[in-house]
């Protein structure tokens, strides 16, 4: 058994961690924290967990005790807070999986530029937590900066083509849409039910913080600097992300070459389901699961390839991916607790 704690357990990602860890046979949950709800029991905040997780929320004031008693700590706090935790626990043997952005960037100046926060822990022993791409480094890192939701869908969709140099890296556009749970449990007018129902909009056009994260991974994969457009949209639904990715094929790239790189890169992956050329994923096909479903189309008229990539933003886009990374780091089967059938309809 591995001792696990969650810092910031009351947001949607925290609740999803609780749900998934509940079915993990080798995990013992030792501490869960919330500053705004210290002392409450989980079912007061999430009645669906009544009888399943009745733990009491603690403060993270005594972080050292949490650090000492845990083998792994998941952090599900807003960005800017995890680095305090990481710094304070630097010399403890505990491993950290941060679901926020603090540890996602190799070059912290990029983080500082996009997130407008000074990074306090730039020399952390960390890895970008996108399991299918950085699996071997994830095994050994002290801190895993779990990949973002839009970024996971976008990078997984584009990675084979960029890695194998089949597309012009200056041509990349990702147009994506997410269910509202991605915006968290905090109240704001834009996510008030009547405002969003029967409504659709773009936001953070060309300035969303997932942009540099996608660029970092694709630049790393292809060896050429990627600068791209990413446009997020908000869907009138709860869960799911669909990323529609565009890139111009390089000359002489055949359709079969495109198919081949997807198969080569993902043929053995448990959580990536390749639907193939001209077959398209729907967010509901992966709802509640850790799958990323991918399909693609090659447009002969424009010579662009269009890749469709779907995930559940709270699972493969957050808590599920974090537990996949945890399984890698802890030496468990990668799909332990994650072998869930998508909920349909």
Quick one: 82 or 176, whose CB is closer to a copy of itself?
Answer: 176
Q: Residue 154 and residue 88: Cα distance in Å, rounded?
A: 33
Only segment of 19-27, 63-71, 119-127, 326-334 that touches a copy of itself (CB under 8 A): 19-27
16: left (phi over 0), alpha (psi -120 to 50) or beta: alpha
What are the residue numbers of the active site?
Answer: 149
Select the residue interacting with a copy of itself from 179, 222, 317, 320 (CB under 8 A): 179
Which residues inside 212-271 make contact with a copy of itself, applying CB under 8 A? 227-229, 231, 233, 235-240, 242, 244, 246
Name which of residues 146 to 175 contact a copy of itself (CB under 8 A): 173, 175
Shortest distance (Å) from residue 61 CB to a copy of itself: 25
Answer for the pair 100, 34: CB distance below 8 angstroms, yes or no: no
Beta carbons of 78 and 183 less than 8 angstroms apart: no
Q: CA dist 271 to 54, 281, 330, Å?
A: 30, 14, 18
Return the number of the residue (121 or 316) whose C-beta is nearest a copy of itself: 316
Residues 303-332 that bind a copy of itself (CB under 8 A): 304, 306, 308
Map the footprint of a copy of itself across residues 20-59, applying CB under 8 A: 22-23, 46-52
Rg of the chain, C-alpha, whole Å: 20
Using CB under 8 A as the binding rule, whether residue 137 contacts a copy of itself is answered as: no
Nearer to a copy of itself, 90 or 282 (CB): 282
223 Cβ contact list (under 8 Å, min separation 6)? none
Q: Which is nearer to a copy of itself, 35 or 282 (CB)?
A: 282
What is the nearest approach in angstroms of a copy of itself to the Cβ of residue 296?
Answer: 9
* Cβ distance to a copy of itself smaller for residue 94 or 286: 286
Query: Which listed range, 14-22, 90-98, 118-126, 321-329, lies at the site for a copy of itself (CB under 8 A)?
Result: 14-22
Question: Are 174 and 154 spatial neighbours (Cβ–Cβ below 8 Å)?
Answer: yes
CB of 67 to a copy of itself, least distance (A): 28
> Contact 199/237 with Cβ under 8 angstroms?
no
For a copy of itself, the binding residue among 191, 255, 257, 335 (CB under 8 A) is: 191
In whole angstroms, how far apart are CA 260 and each of 162, 166, 173, 276, 300?
13, 11, 22, 10, 18
Output the smallest distance, CB 291 to a copy of itself, in A: 8
By CB under 8 A, the count of residues binding a copy of itself is 78
Q: Is 37 exposed, middle or buried (0-12, 13-18, 19+ CB in 10 A)?
A: middle
Asked if residues 121 and 102 have their Cβ atoms less than 8 Å apart, the reply is: yes
Q: Which of 286, 322, 328, 330 binds a copy of itself (CB under 8 A)?
A: 286
CB of 269 to a copy of itself, least distance (A): 11
The minimum distance between CB 255 and a copy of itself, in angstroms, equals 13
218: three-class secondary structure by DSSP? helix
Residue 269 backbone class (left: φ over 0; alpha: ψ -120 to 50; beta: rest) = beta
Q: Is 272 helix (H, G, I), strand (E, B) or coil?
A: strand
């Amino acid at each position: 058994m591995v001792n696990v704690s969650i810092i910031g357990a009351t947001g949607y990602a925290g609740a999803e961690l609780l749900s998934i860890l509940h079915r993990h046979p080798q995990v013992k949950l030792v501490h869960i924290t919330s500053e705004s709800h210290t002392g409450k029991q989980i079912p007061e905040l999430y009645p669906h967990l009544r009888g399943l997780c009745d733990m009491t929320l603690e403060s993270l004031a005594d972080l050292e005790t949490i650090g000492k008693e845990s083998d792994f700590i998941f952090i599900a706090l807003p960005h800017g807070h995890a680095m305090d935790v990481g710094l304070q626990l630097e010399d403890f043997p505990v491993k950290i999986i941060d679901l926020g952005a603090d540890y996602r960037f190799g070059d912290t100046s990029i983080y500082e530029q996009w997130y407008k926060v000074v990074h306090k822990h730039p020399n952390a022993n960390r890895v970008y937590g996108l399991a299918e791409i950085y699996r071997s480094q994830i095994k050994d890192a002290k801190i895993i900066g779990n990949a973002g939701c839009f970024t996971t869908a976008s990078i997984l969709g584009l990675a084979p083509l960029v890695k194998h140099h089949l597309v012009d890296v200056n041509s990349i556009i990702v147009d994506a849409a997410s269910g509202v749970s991605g915006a968290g449990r905090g109240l704001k007018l834009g996510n008030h039910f009547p405002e969003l129902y029967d409504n659709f909009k773009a936001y953070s056009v060309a300035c969303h913080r997932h942009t540099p994260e996608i660029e970092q991974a694709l630049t790393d994969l292809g060896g050429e600097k990627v600068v791209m457009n990413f446009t997020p949209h908000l869907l009138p639904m709860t869960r799911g992300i669909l990323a529609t990715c565009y890139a111009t094929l390089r000359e002489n790239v055949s359709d079969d070459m495109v198919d081949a790189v997807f198969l080569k890169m993902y043929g053995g992956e448990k959580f990536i389901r390749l639907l193939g050329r001209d077959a398209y994923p729907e967010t509901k096909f992966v709802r509640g699961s850790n799958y990323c479903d991918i399909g693609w189309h090659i447009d002969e008229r424009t010579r662009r390839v269009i890749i469709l990539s779907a995930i559940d933003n709270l699972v493969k886009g957050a808590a599920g991916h974090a537990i996949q990374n945890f399984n890698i780091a802890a030496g468990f089967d990668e799909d332990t607790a994650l072998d869930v059938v998508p909920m349909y309809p």
